[in-house]
Structures are given as structure tokens and as C-alpha cells.
A and B are shown apart, each in its own frame.
Chain A
Amino acid sequence: MTPSPWDRAKQSLSEELEAHLKLAIAERIANGEDPSHARAAALRELGNVPLVQDVTRERWGWSWLENLLHDARYALRQLRRSPAFTATALLTLAFGIGANLGVFQLLYAVILAQLPVPHPQELVRVHAARSPFDQGWQVSYPAYQRLRAATPDVPLMATAYVQNVSIELANHASIEASSRLVSGNYFSGLGVAPAAGRLFVLADERIGQDVWPVVLRYEFARNTFDSAQQAVGQHLLINGRAFLVIGVARRGFFGDITGFAPDTWMPLALQSTDAFAVPWDSLGPGHDVSLDKPWYNQPTIFWLELTARIPPQRRAAVLAHWDQAFRNDREVMTEATADPSAKAALLRVTTAAVPLSDNGMRKRFTAPLTLLMALSASIFLVGCLNLANLQLARLHARAHELSVRMALGASSGRLIRQIVLEDALLVAGGSVSALVLGRAASGILIRWASNRNGLFTLDLHPNLPLAALGAGLMLLSLLCFSILPVVFFIRSGVAQTAGSRAKVAGISQTARQRWRSNALLGAQVSLSLLLSTMSACFTATLVHWETVNVGMDREHVLIVHPDFHQPRYTKHADMLPELYSRIQQRLQALPGVRSAAVEMCGGIHCGWITALYAQGRSDLTDTQVHGQEDHVGLGFFSTVGIPFLRGRDFTSSDNDSTQRVAILSRSYARQLFGDADPIGQWVGYEPAPNDRKFLIVGEVADARVNGARREPPPMVYMSINQNPAPINSIRVRAVGDPSQLSESVRQALHQVDPALPVGEIVPLATELNGDLGTETLLARLAGIYSSLTLLLVGIGFYGVMSSRAVRRKAEFGIRLALGATRGHIHRLIVGQTARILLAGMLPGALLSIFAVRAASHVLYGSVTANSFAIVVASLVLASAGSLATFIPARRAAQADPLEALRIE
């Protein structure tokens, strides 16, 4: 190994001093002195050589570095000597800081981050009018054109949802990608620059192009084509249409909707190709709506969401302008309702500008994420308190060594520096793991929070606030568990009572120090009680929603997702009822299958909003008229387990040539007919005289078809055989565990129709629970936190009580010799734990009540019911604490009185 410059300089210095000595001796001898005498005199004159070297080296200005390296080596040695403490500290720090970073990353991406475009505060959503059925803010294409023409200088962008698309590349398997249709001014209006190629211009809005332009998201382009540059110019097939990648949006642009990042952006005009499924709303049947014709010239199909860039000072004027331009559309929209008050309310609405931050994602997650942030902060604090306590115990154990070193002249500053450096190394190590852990945690948290069918896509790149939080937590932890305890310890003078080990060990633990470690333990207990209570509440909430009666047989039903949206089915819809019947018969013949039925709905929360007008009841309001509609096959109700209350099910004689029939759910029947018997009544999609279209033949119980957490909607079920159309799901009711059937169901479907693509097959319970993202996130994370804090409290009690037991060994021995029983000693130690537990639980319980109150809107049940969780959490905590004390208490009670007396 070549010597470092530092070592060479040191070598050179000692040679220089040696030369000095030799020259001095030589001169003394030359002057006639005796050689041995000359050497001694020269040495005396030279003085303390190492000291001279030290002082000289200080002049080089690097000595602090040398000291630091020296201390660092010493610190590493110390850490290696206490592996248990090192491991506990590393894990606690990694988890405490990592959890905070992970949750903050999510909180930042969902709540705090703004769009990465210039002046994001100028961007607003334009809310002109709610669409008649879905109550969204979509408008028609002609309305969008009118608004854009009314204010040519204001960038007004239109976007539309589109179902996931399938992309085919040359020599590549097809990829499923998310997408969004956007107007030509979308990117220029937002102010997004391309990473490569170009973004949309107005000419891209042209209808009927042979090769359509598409813009890719940066990460998607990089994952698919290796780089943004390589993606540009690629030819693709999307849903069977020819596309050319014209550009890639800048890195970090995830679209304008928090949580949903489209992989591709395509022009609005693509709607006219009919190759893409775009959600829409309209005035309902009976109005001039042709869905299969292009939508760009139809003022009664509402499908575009509007976003605009307006400087705040111009906002009022622009909105007033748009109100004028939109008046006619609003009047058209009133045709959808027969309710005069609803018509008036619709006309009273004025166009509004809503900040982009005012989105559903933020509304849904602000409370849970803030809560989680608070819980993460608590776990961090518990960790720090625990480490501070361990640190104090460790310092006590080292008191003898430290006192000897101080007596030998080590400055207290240097001692403090050495110990703090030791902990700084721990913090640094812990933080590196925390970064990795936090990164992974955000990914896992997103998965937990997401709905089963749609993973959130959020920008999780490290950012400045995250780095600041990380550095802040590092410093805070260092201050809490290292600097403060060490300074207290050295200042308290314990280490200065140099001398006998017995003295240090026996007397030095003053009441104040005991009080300090008790207070630390008590604070830990308080925070742990809080975390355990919250965890119990969140778990109870999750369990409630996972087991609530949904009005269906959630444990035995399998949902199969076939894809009937292919020309061979859609072009021959009249053949479908026969195919459905064959599928049903084949599936019902499978062993283990009780029944099977087809359904238009694909899963939960999919029935479309409809309006039913009851014959002879012209006084119904809009809220009474509106409900949700689904088309089902024969045997649907018995398959999913929705019981009949009155009337009959659909039969095979309800077909295209017989009277149209409908079945109402209990709540819809009550809305339309009150307590009267709905069987035999007439309803229609339009008010009189068109309100005599469907005959009500049955009434079924309410079911939570929109997910366990949502109230059962008013439902009307129609027969799929009277309205032949592609279905989106097949329900199979099993005798036992439904997931066991998936493979045989898939094979049976293949036998019936080999050309039918079959997608996912999931149990109904999974589908229902997939909607419980927020609850799952809270319950799982709080669960992890509370078990960790229980562990930490256990470690804390064990550590403190065993070091006390060791310190008081002699005392216990004497007590035993004087007639105390082992039970007394045992009770003494356990009594201490009990007092600390009690003292910590009281403030902890208060804290928990506040937290339960603050979190009541994400919890199921009343505050009082949830407060009961405090009792449960206290019991768990008390048993954890007692268990941890049990071993040290037993050990103390085993003290040998003879040995104790001998030591004395």
C-alpha cells in the first residue's frame, strides 16, 4: 500500500526532528563534549518530541480531521462491541425515519405537489353544468367549441376519459396502456414541453386521419422503447388503428389528474373512429342522440372535461363571458328532467372555476394521509425515546470507563464528541436504510391505497421537501437519543465520581436519573397506547366493511370477466341470448357449481344511472326518479344471493317478442311507489305519455352492488334477453370456496366458445374488498406501527428494569437476608413497571380520545364505541410491559443473600 500524503508528511516531520537532534549532538561533540553527555543534553534541549510533532502538525490545519478519523475508528470499534444496541438502534432509526419518508412521499405527491408547469396556480377546471345522470361536469363538443370561440385568447383545453387501450408493436406482445383523449391545445395550454419530438398542435384535431398522432408519457416511452428519442417516429397499432408517435412529454409530467397518469395522449377526434370506449352522459332515451355516429356535432352527448389557464385577475370576466356562451346548452340540458325545481336549479347554476387541487383524490386521501403522517411521527418519537433510554442505560454501564478517562485528562467535550459521533454513525447508517425502506414503502402504500382495478400512478421521484424532511429527522433523532442524553449524563457529574466501581454502580443512580428514565418510559407508553388504539379502531373498521352484510352471498360467488366487445358478438347481438344460455348450462353442469348467470355489469359500482317515471305519478322529484340500472340473465338473483321479496324472477318466456318487464330493488320501489305493492305497476324512461313501457314483475332486497362501504343504491334490473347486448361478467355460485373453480370455469368457457377471450376471474369478496383502499392502508400501517411500538415498549421495560435489577442486586440480597420473601422483591420490580404503565396510560388515553375524535370520519361506528378500543389497547400494552418485566423481576428475586453480604 502506498503511504498517504498525510503519512508521508508525518514521516518527513519526524525525520526533520531527528536531523535536528543529530546536528545538535554532532556540534556538541565537536565542541568537545562527551558523546553520551552530548546526546542527553541535546535530547533535553529538544524537549517532548511527540508534543512538538503534535503542535507542528496543528499548524498544517488538518488536525481536526485526524482527530475525527481517530474518533470515528474508535466509534466503530465501540459499536461492534455492543451488537445488540447497534442492531436495535439501526432498525429503530431505519424504520422510524423510513416510515415517515414513505408516508410523506405519498402525502406530498397527493396533496402538496403542484403540476410541473409554469404558473400552475393559473390552471382551473371549468364547471359549467352537471350532466343530467352521472352528475359529472362534462360538456358536449359543440359547447366546448362555442366556449373556446368566445374567448380566443384564453387557453381552454378539453379532455375525455377513455378505457384502457391495447397497443401492438412490431415484434412485441401487445401492451395494455392507459390513455386520455385531449384537445390540440392541451400541452401548449398547460405549458408542457416535449422531452423529444413534438406535442399536439391544432391541426392534430382533424377528423378522419389515416395515421393518428400519439404522445407518450416519459416513463412509458422509456420502459417501452428504452429512450424518449427512440420512441419518436415509431409506428404502432392502438386498438387496431395506425398511429405514429410524434413526441414524448417532458419527464415528470404525469397528466393533470392526481393519481391517474395516462401512458398515452391521443386527439379527441379519435372518438369518431368508434374504436375507443369513451364514457358519456346524455339527455336519456327519446332525445336526439346517436351514439354510433361521431359525437363532435352532437350537442346532447356530454363527454368533455374542461381545463383552462386564466390569470386570477381576469377570471371573473372570462367566466361571465362563458356563462353567456353556455346559456343555450344549459337550456338543452333541462330537457333531461321533468322536475320543474330541478330545471330551475339547473338554469340557476353559473360557470365556475375550480382549482386543480380540488380533486377527488385529494378529498379522499387528505384525512387518512394526515392521520398516517401523525402516526408515523409518533412511531418516530417512540423510537427516539426508546433509544434515549437505552443510551442512558448504556452510559451508566460505561460510567466507570468514562470517569477514568476524565480523571486522566480527557476533556468532556471530546468525550461528548466521541459518543455523539458513534451515534451519528448509527444515524447515518439508519438513514441510508431508511431511504431505501421509504422508497419501497411508498410503493407498497400506493398498492394498498389503490382500488383493486386501478393502481394509482404518482410521481415518487425524490424531491427537495423529502430531502429536507429526511435531514431534519436525522438531526432530530441525533439530538433526542444522543446529544441530549450524553450532555445530561456528563453534566450530571456521574462520570466524575471516579474511583470505586461499587460507588459508581450503587449510589450514583440518583432519584433524578431514575425519574428521567421513568418519564421516558411513560412517554413511550402514552404514544404506544395511542398507536395501539388507532390500530385497533382501524382494524375494527376494516373488519366491519369486510364482513358487513352486503345483501349478496359474498363468500361463494365468483366473478368471471369475459370480453364480448368484439365485432363477431356486437354485430350479431340477437344471437347472444342463445350463447348466454349455452354458457349458463355448461357452467351449471360443472361439479361444485350451484348456479351461474350473466350480467351486463362488470363488477362493483358499474350500473349506470337511469331515470324511471312511474305511470300515474307525475309528482315525483328528480331524486325519486333517479336510480341505477343493470341488465341480467336468467337465475341472476339466486346466483348472487339477492332474495326475492315479491313477484317473480325473469323467465325464458320473457323475450324479444313479449312484454318488457323489470324487477325493482326495495329502495327503488319505495322511491317510486311508497309502501304500495309495485308488482303490476308500469314504468318508463320518460314522463307521460311514455311512462308505460315496462311492467314490474318482481321486487328484490337491496344489495350493496356499489361496494361494501356504499349504501345500497336503488336498482332496476332488466332482462338481458329482452335487450340483447354484450355482457361484462358471468357470476358463478359455488358450493364451497369459489376460487377453487376458476380453472374449470375457464376451461368450460373455452369449450363453449373457443374464440371468447376470458380475462380475470375473482371471488366476489375480493372484488368488494378491492374498494377498501383507504381502510386497508390505515389498518395495515397502523397494525405494523402498533406491533412495533409494543415491541419497543417491551424492549424498553426489559432494558431499564434489568439494569436496575443488576444495580440493586446487593440491596435485594440484604433485604432477603433481613427476611423479605422472594415475592416481595418480585412485587417491588413489577410494582415499578405498573406505576410507570399507569402514569403513561392516563395521558395516553386522553391523547387517544382526541385522536379517535379527529379520525371519526374514517372510522366506522361512534366515538364512544371506538373509545372502547382504548381499554383493549391498554390491556395489551399492560401485558406487554408486565411480560417484559417478568424476567428481570424473577432474576432479581433469585438474588443470593450470602453473595450480597460477601460483596458488602
Chain B
Amino acid sequence: MAATTKYKNRIEILQGTLDMLILQAIERQPMHGYAIAQRIRSRSGEVLTVETGFLYPALHRLERQKWVKSQWKLTESKQRAKFYQLTALGKRQLTADHQRWLELVRAIGSVMQPEVQP
């Protein structure tokens, strides 16, 4: 199946967070696949890279789950591309995912905090 090549200098996207990152990327405006990958990379300060081998399967799965919908449109450079747009269902999912993520970060954070000696 999909062979995964590991890049040691990059941080692996945490399992289950890719959906959230994609939904977040297109929250404001519809975007095509390439732009989504670029946006996640630039916003993460070049730390997170989404491989096409993960991006497109994820996009198509999200579309099947009706969290995003797609449309062929022209980009600013007059290139035809498929734009993905968040649906109402996707918006609700994003909020829920974000909420859970914050809780997770807080929880991990407090676990990792050095214990204060009394």
C-alpha cells in the first residue's frame, strides 16, 4: 500500500490531525489541493509537510463524509483546478476537532510540566 518515507528533519503530522489541518486551511475560502499543502507548510513555519499521497486520499474521504465539497474553477494564474470548500457539517466538525485538540495540548502540557517541589 502507500509506502511511507520518513523525513527525519520534519515532524510527522500527528495521526488524526490531518483532517483538522485541512479543514482549518480552507475555513476562510475555498482552495485547491496544492494551495492547501502550501498553506499548511507556510503556516507551520515549514515544519509540517503534507504529502500528496496523504493529502488527496484525505480530501476525497472528507468529500465522501460531506465535510467539504468541491468545484472546478480557474486560479488567478488561469489554471483549472479543483477547489475544496468547507460545508456546514465540516465547520461543525472543525470546531469539535479544534476543541478536542486544545484539550489534548493542555493535558499533554500539564503532564510534561516539571513538577513544582513544595
The answer to whether B77 and A16 have CB atoms under 8 Å apart is: no
Does A12 make an interface contact (CB < 8 A)?
yes
Q: How far is the CA of A704 from the CA of B34 in the complex (A)?
A: 98
Q: Chain A's nearest CB lies how many Å from the CB of B52?
A: 5
With A19-B34, A23-B34, A59-B64 in contact, is A52–B53 under 8 Å at CB? Answer: yes
In the complex, what distance in Å separates the CA atom of A61 from the CA atom of B61? 9
Partner-binding segment picked from A43-51, A174-182, A212-220, A692-700: A43-51
CB neighbours (8 Å) of A24 from chain B are 34
Number of A interface residues in the complex (CB < 8 A): 24
Asked whether, in the complex, the Cβ of A56 is within 8 Å of the Cβ of B60, the reply is: yes
B33 within 8 Å of A (CB atoms): yes
Residue B102 CB within 8 A of the other chain: no
Among the listed B51, B58, B61, B79, which residue makes an inter-chain contact with A23, where contact means beta carbons less than 8 Å apart?
B79
Contacts A17-B52, A24-B34, A58-B57 supplied; 7 other A-B pairs, CB < 8 Å: A19-B32, A20-B81, A23-B32, A51-B53, A55-B2, A56-B56, A60-B60
Known interface pairs A55-B1, A61-B64; A17-B77 also in contact (CB < 8 Å): no
B54 to chain A, nearest CB (A): 9
| 28 examples of A-B residue contacts, CB within 8 angstroms | A12-B82, A15-B80, A15-B82, A16-B33, A16-B56, A19-B33, A19-B34, A19-B79, A20-B52, A22-B79, A23-B35, A23-B77, A23-B79, A27-B34, A27-B38, A45-B52, A47-B51, A51-B2, A55-B56, A55-B57, A56-B56, A56-B57, A58-B57, A59-B57, A59-B60, A59-B61, A59-B64, A61-B64
Residues in B neighbouring A17, C-beta threshold 8 A = 52, 56
- The answer to the question of B75 belonging to the interface, with a C-beta cut-off of 8 Å to chain A, is yes
Interface presence of A236 (CB below 8 A):
no
Interface string of B20-56 (1 = CB under 8 A from A): 0000000000001111001000000000000111001
Task: Report how far A24 CA is from B79 CA in the complex, Å.
Answer: 11
Q: How many A-B residue pairs have CB under 8 A?
A: 67
Which of B60, B64, B75, B81: most chain A CB closer than 10 A? B60
A26 close to B (CB within 8 Å)? yes
Residues of B within 8 A of A (CB): 1-3, 32-35, 38, 51-53, 56-58, 60-61, 64, 75, 77, 79-82
Q: By the criterion CB–CB under 8 Å, are A46 and B81 in contact?
A: no
- Alpha-carbon separation in the docked complex, A15 to B77 (Å): 17
Contacting pair A48 B82 (CB below 8 A):
no
Chain A residues whose CB sits within 8 angstroms of the CB of B75 once the complex forms: 23
Instruction: Specify which chain B residues have a CB less than 8 angstroms from the CB of A26 in the assembled complex.
Output: 77, 79
Residues of A within 8 A of B38 (CB): 27
Cβ of A789 to closest chain B Cβ, rounded Å: 49
CA–CA, A12 to B81, complex, Å? 10
A20-49 to B contact mask, C-beta < 8 Å, 1/0:
101110110000000000000000011110
A residues in contact (CB < 8 Å) with B = 12-13, 15-17, 19-20, 22-24, 26-27, 45-48, 51-52, 55-56, 58-61
Chain A residues within 8 Å of B81, by CB: 16, 19-20, 23
Question: What's the least CB distance linking A223 to chain B, in Å?
Answer: 55
CB of A409, distance to nearest CB on chain B (Å): 12
| B53 x A47 contact (CB < 8 A) | yes
Q: How far is the CB of B67 from chain A (nearest CB, A)?
A: 13
Minimum-distance CB pairs A-B, first 7: A23-B34, A19-B81, A59-B61, A59-B60, A56-B56, A56-B57, A20-B34
Residue of B nearest to A21 (CB): B34
> Shortest beta-carbon distance, A39 to chain B, in Å?
15
The docked-state distance in angstroms from the alpha carbon of A24 to that of B50 is: 14
CA distance A58 to B81 in the complex (A): 22
Contacts of B56 in A (CB 8 A): 13, 16-17, 52, 55-56
Q: What chain A residues lie within 8 Å of B79 (beta carbons)? A: 19, 22-23, 26
Residue of A whose beta carbon sits closest to that of B56: A56
Report B55 CB to chain A, min CB distance, Å.
9
- Residues of A close to B1: CB separation below 8 A: 55
Which of chain A's residues has its CB closest to B61's CB? A59
Give the chain B neighbours of A58 by CB distance below 8 A: 57
Partner of B33, one of A12, A20, A61: A20
Q: How far is the CB of B25 from chain A (nearest CB, A)?
A: 15
Smallest CB–CB gap between B38 and chain A, Å? Answer: 8
Residues of chain A with a CB closer than 8 A to B3's CB:
48, 51
Tell me the smallest distance from the CB of B21 to a CB of chain A, in Å: 17
Residues from chain B with a CB closer than 8 A to the CB of A15 are 80, 82
User: Which residue of the partner chain A has the closest CB to B77?
Assistant: A26
Give complex CA distance A61, B80 in Å.
Answer: 26
Contacts of A48 in B (CB 8 A): 3, 53
Contact across chains for A16 and B57 when beta carbons are under 8 A apart: no
**Bound state CA distance, A60 and B75, in angstroms?**
26
Q: How far is the CA of A45 from the CA of B37 in the complex (A)?
A: 11
Q: How far is the CB of A210 from chain B (nearest CB, A)?
A: 76
Question: Are A16 and B82 in contact, CB atoms less than 8 angstroms apart?
Answer: yes
B-side contacts of A19, CB under 8 Å: 32-34, 79-82
Min CB gap B18→A, angstroms: 13
Q: Bound complex: CA of A61 vs CA of B3, how far in Å?
A: 20
Residue contact A60 to B64, C-beta cutoff 8 Å: yes
Residues on the B chain within 8 Å of A16, using CB? 33, 56, 81-82
Q: How far is the CA of A15 from the CA of B64 in the complex (A)?
A: 19
* Residue among B52, B60, B75 with max Cβ neighbours from chain A (10 Å): B52
C-alpha gap A26/B34 in the complex (Å)? 11
Q: What separation, in Å, do the CA atoms of A58 and B1 have in the docked complex?
A: 11
Give Cα A55–Cα B59 distance, bound, in whole angstroms. 12
Chain B neighbourhood of A13, CB < 8 A: 56, 60
Contacts of B51 in A (CB 8 A): 47
Pairwise interchain contact A47-B52, C-beta atoms closer than 8 A: yes
CB-based nearest B residue for A42: B34
Distance of A48 Cα from B51 Cα, bound (Å) = 11
B52 & A52 in contact (Cβ 8 Å cutoff): yes
Q: How far is the CA of A55 from the CA of B52 in the complex (A)?
A: 11
A61 to B64, CA, bound (A): 9
In the complex the two chains form, what is the Cα distance from A360 to B64 in whole Å?
65
Distance of B83 from chain A, by nearest CB (Å):
10
CA–CA, A60 to B56, complex, Å?
A: 11
> In whole Å, how far is A13's beta carbon from the nearest beta carbon of chain B?
8
Q: Which residue of B lies closest to A24 (CB)?
A: B34
Distance A694 CA – B44 CA, assembled complex (angstroms):
126
